Amino acid sequence: MLEFNSWFFILDLIGILVATWYANQFLLGVLMVALIGLHPFQLYATYADNLNRTAQVFLVVI
């Protein structure tokens, strides 16, 4: 579950980057990825909490 959560979380961040790049708002995307990717609760839920809490891991990104 940890491996899936972490790779899917990275995929979500890449999705933000691609979407904002396509919308010509790339700086906004970089800022969003930096803030979401450094969120301590998000990081713990993604990389340290080996539980199936999809909503908690991916809700911010969605």
Q: How far is the CB of 22 from another protein (least distance, A)?
A: 6
Least distance CB 37 / another protein (angstroms): 6
In the complex, which residues of this chain contact another protein (CB under 8 A)? 2, 6, 9-10, 13-14, 17-18, 21-24, 26, 29-30, 33, 37, 40-41, 43-49, 53, 55-56
48 versus 62: smaller Cβ distance to another protein: 48
SS3 of the chain: the string is CHHHHHHHHHHHHHHHHHHHHHCCCHHHHHHHHHHHHCCHHHHHHHHCCCCCCHHHHHCCCC
